Amino acid sequence: MGHHIQGIISKSDNINAFARYYSLKKRISLSQGFSLLMLSEDDLDSFIFSANYDLYDINGLSDKLVEILSHYSLQAPIAYIATDYFGGTGSQAAIAFANGNIILPPQCAEIGVINQALKLIGVISNNIIDEFDTLNLGQYRHMDED
């Protein structure tokens, strides 16, 4: 079974403000006061205002989206995450921001990058499950296109 999502994670108030401003609808409440805003390809295309699409070698991450996320990180730490797995192989990517700055540079790897980003934005895990599973992100396996 595959896992292919792209989205933004932050505290719920921050995600709600972002979603309202950009008229995005796919908000999911998570634990610890966080929310996930799923971003479709069409949503991501709306943040492309220059030729610098996928500038950071992360699918959907444009220079404009980095600028926007940096701005929203002034309210609460925020991360952009992407997964692309099928049959147990693939990759994940993340970038995280706080106080208007990048706190985790864009990274792509087979495992671990999303957990790093989630930890940096304040997700608290325990010794039994990691940050990804703490937020139960495994249950959101793909984007449902409208």
Instruction: Tally the domains of the chain.
Output: 1
User: What kind and span of H or E run contains 42?
Assistant: helix 41-45
Surface-to-core class of residue 105, CB atoms within 10 Å of its CB (0-12 exposed, 13-18 middle, 19+ buried): exposed
What's the domain range around 91?
Answer: 6-139
25 occurs within a structural domain: yes
Q: Give the Cα separation of 106 and 95 in Å (integer).
A: 5
Domain annotation covers residue 100: yes
User: Cβ–Cβ contacts within 10 Å for residue 12, how many?
Assistant: 16
Structure pTM? 0.88
In a domain, 52, yes or no: yes
Q: Quick one: which of 138, 99, 139, 97 has its CA closest to 118?
A: 97
User: Does 40 reside within a domain?
Assistant: yes
The pLDDT value recorded for residue 86 is 73
Q: What is the pLDDT of residue 8?
A: 95
Q: Is residue 108 part of a domain?
A: yes
Beta-carbon contacts of residue 88 (< 8 Å; ≥ 6 apart): none
Indicate whether 146 belongs to any domain.
no
Q: Decide if 83 is inside a domain.
A: yes
pLDDT at 88: 73
pLDDT means over runs of 10, the chain (146 residues): 81 96 92 94 72 58 89 97 80 94 91 93 93 85 53
**CA dist., res. 43 & res. 91, Å (int):** 21
Distance CA 52, CA 28 (A): 29
